[in-house]
Chain A
Amino acid sequence: MKDLIDISELTTSEIDQLIETSCDIMQNPAKYSEKCRGKKLATLFFEPSTRTRLSFEAAMYELGGAVLGFSAADSSSAAKGESVSDTVKTVSCYADIIAMRHPKEGAPRAAAMAASVPIINAGDGGHNHPTQTLADLCTIKKEKGRLDALTIGCCGDLKFGRTVHSLVEAMSRYENIRFIMISPEELRLPEFVKSNIAHHASHEIEETEDLQQVLPELDVLYMTRVQKERFFNEADYIRLKDSYILTPAKLTNAKADLAIMHPLPRVNEISVAVDNDPRACYFKQVLNGKFMRMALIMKLLEVE
């Protein structure tokens, strides 16, 4: 495996191995602090993303490596009209591995076809964000102790939310998963995502508009932001952005061991008062994401 563009490119055993490594890194950080000494990670962010970029950079620093790159297209040669292929061919001469975010869907695939070093997709428009999915899987495994036999609720923007698409696809490879999709009709999970899980006999998928009604059934609640940048017009965004807001009052009937997750950043879909609830896992997700990215960088660089 040279690159990570889409979560479906990883086998289940590779995912399990990455989770295992990330857990070991978390428990024994000193063991890994020199693993990438002398290696360089280039973070090519053609679209702003503080969280993901810093997570990659922190991951590489904690492995003893170095980081270079840019954080917006206007500070790169893309502003002069350079193609993605040319950019990564150039950067391949400077760095050992590239993490790329791009607003256009499929840009990391185009990059992987041109680059001579591994490419990690750090998000391509509304399409894929595999390292977020790895962080999510890692969090579910750590919080629930398993990745099978779970009822997972996904709430909010299920139409444009790429993190949900990837999570559904990744979780569908484990047994006995019941998905409950909670969203307004306009933001329902696209058919192509549903069709990916339809052929798994042990899975169920339900759709509802009522968050509170299904909350007591959930082992995992994955909240998402209604993302302004994915809408073609602002009127639709304003109408739908407040559809689902999680508050302490709504959580009274939820399971005691519910894991509340969110890819962040949030706007107002999880009330700040929920942060103190022990079931809130979204900041643990951020931390898990860094350890998972460390495990992934090591894997792609073939560092033992």
Chain B
Amino acid sequence: MIIGSIKDGIVIDHIPAGRAMELYKYLNLEHADCEVAIIKNAQSKKLGRKDVLKINEILDINYELLGYIAPDITVNIIRDGQKAQKLHPGLPETITDMIKCKNPRCITTTEQELPQIFKLTDKENGVYRCLYCDTIASR
């Protein structure tokens, strides 16, 4: 599949090599009805090797999640076969209900209806901490 073959869709580019499946899983793409292509270990001038995800439909993407998993990725929105929009999600300030706090003493372990919220506390190193107990998020 090449970009030109997508009429309306999304190309998630510059995914660190080997992490496309992680993104695929987090984005729930296994439940999507549209065509999805996973390109692994593609040549990249910027990264050496990269993964690419091509989705043949403009889905409602959670950019917060994308930024958390791979802050350097590029998201290209394709409309009528043309690149309509290019996005760099970056690190989100907060992430909600994507990962769980691993601290056994955290209130979220006993009250599981609470939203799992993590906040960015160290932008330079991409460190997130649990909003409730301050435990560092582990991927």
Q: Do A and B bind each other?
A: yes
Known: A83-B113, A85-B114. A106 touches B136 (CB 8 A): no
Chain B residues, CB < 8 A from A110: 107, 111, 114, 132
Contact B111 A83 (CB under 8 A): yes
Known: A83-B111, A84-B111, A104-B110. A109 touches B105 (CB 8 A): no
Contact B133 A106 (CB under 8 A): yes
A127 CA / B106 CA spacing, docked (Å) = 9
* Neighbour of B134 across the interface among A83, A84, A107, A127, CB < 8 A: A127
Looking at A84, A106, A124, which has the most chain B CB atoms within 10 Å of its CB?
A106
Chain B residues, CB < 8 A from A83: 111, 113
A124 CA / B130 CA spacing, docked (Å) = 14
- CB within 8 Å of A: which of B107-139? 107-111, 113-114, 130-136
Write the nearest CB–CB distance from B96 to chain A, whole angstroms: 12
Known: A127-B134, A192-B136. A106 touches B113 (CB 8 A): no
Contact B110 A106 (CB under 8 A): no
Question: Which chain B residue shows the least CB distance to A5?
Answer: B132
Q: How many A-B residue pairs have CB under 8 A?
A: 49
Question: Which chain A residue shows the least CB distance to B101?
Answer: A106
Contact A192 B134 (CB under 8 A): yes
* Neighbour of B132 across the interface among A85, A105, A126, CB < 8 A: A105
Question: Which chain B residue shows the least CB distance to A126?
Answer: B105
Judge if B103 is at the interface, Cβ distance under 8 Å.
Answer: yes
Chain A: residues with Cβ within 8 Å of the partner, total of 16
- CB within 8 Å of B: which of A87-126? 102-107, 109-110, 124-126
A124 CA / B107 CA spacing, docked (Å) = 9
A67 CA / B77 CA spacing, docked (Å) = 59
Chain B residues, CB < 8 A from A125: 105, 133
Looking at B107, B109, B113, B134, which has the most chain A CB atoms within 10 Å of its CB?
B107
Chain A residues, CB < 8 A from B132: 105-107, 109-110
Contact A104 B136 (CB under 8 A): no
Contact A105 B111 (CB under 8 A): no
- CB within 8 Å of B: which of A111-154? 124-127
Question: Which chain B residue shows the least CB distance to A103?
Answer: B105
A85 CA / B109 CA spacing, docked (Å) = 14
Contact A102 B134 (CB under 8 A): no
Known: A109-B131, A110-B132, A127-B134. A104 touches B106 (CB 8 A): yes
Write the nearest CB–CB distance from A164 to chain B, whole angstroms: 15
Interface string of B65-109 (1 = CB under 8 A from A): 000000000000000000000000000000000000001011111
Question: Which chain A residue shows the least CB distance to B110?
Answer: A104
Known: A127-B133, A192-B134, A192-B136. A104 touches B105 (CB 8 A): yes
Chain A residues, CB < 8 A from B111: 83-85, 104, 110
Known: A110-B132, A127-B133, A127-B134. A105 touches B114 (CB 8 A): no
A102 CA / B106 CA spacing, docked (Å) = 11
A107 CA / B132 CA spacing, docked (Å) = 7
A105 CA / B107 CA spacing, docked (Å) = 6
Contact B107 A107 (CB under 8 A): yes
Known: A84-B111, A85-B114. A105 touches B105 (CB 8 A): yes
Chain B residues, CB < 8 A from A107: 107, 132
Write the nearest CB–CB distance from A9 to chain B, whole angstroms: 13
A127 CA / B103 CA spacing, docked (Å) = 11
Known contacts A106-B130, A107-B132, A110-B111; 11 additional CB pairs below 8 A are A83-B111, A104-B107, A105-B103, A105-B133, A106-B106, A106-B134, A110-B107, A125-B105, A126-B105, A127-B105, A127-B134
Q: Taking beta carbons and an 8 Å cutoff, which residues of B are in contact with A?
A: 103, 105-111, 113-114, 130-136
A–B complex contacts, Cβ < 8 Å, 7 sampled: A84-B107, A104-B106, A104-B109, A105-B132, A107-B107, A127-B133, A192-B134
Nearest 5 pairs of A and B residues by beta carbon: A106-B132, A105-B133, A106-B133, A104-B107, A107-B107
